[in-house]
Amino acid sequence: MLALTDPHEAYRVSEVDARLSGAGTAALVTFCLAQVIQGLGCAVAAHERAHWAVRSKWLTRALTALTALEMGVDREAPLADALLQIYGAARRALLDSAVAFDPAALETIRSDFRDILAALSAQG
């Protein structure tokens, strides 16, 4: 199966699999936050270069990581509602950008996720 994919993508997938195998909750959350941040940044960069397929790929990657974050929220935790609200708003903006790309909105979301990642990193 890997022979049918881009070698760089195959390497990235195997690297991700290795990083996530046996990772704890905090590591998984950190990874997903970083993927959202990277995906949004790369989507904006691809948009600036008029690389629409690449932009779509990075938006999809960011959306996948965001979905994992949403699914992993402990609904009983004190910050659950706030996290779900942030993640939901980010999801809507990403989906809206698939139709009408808004780099400024995505940069704002990216900044918010950087803040969340920094706060999480400071905790632990």
57-93 per-position pLDDT tens digit: 999 999 999 999 999 999 999 999 999 999 999 999 9
| CATH no. for 24-123 | 1.20.120.340
Cα separation of 51 and 29, whole Å? 29
List pLDDT tens digits, range 81-91. Answer: 999 999 999 99
Whole-structure pTM value: 0.83
Of 39-43, 58-62, 95-99, the one with minimum mean pLDDT is 95-99
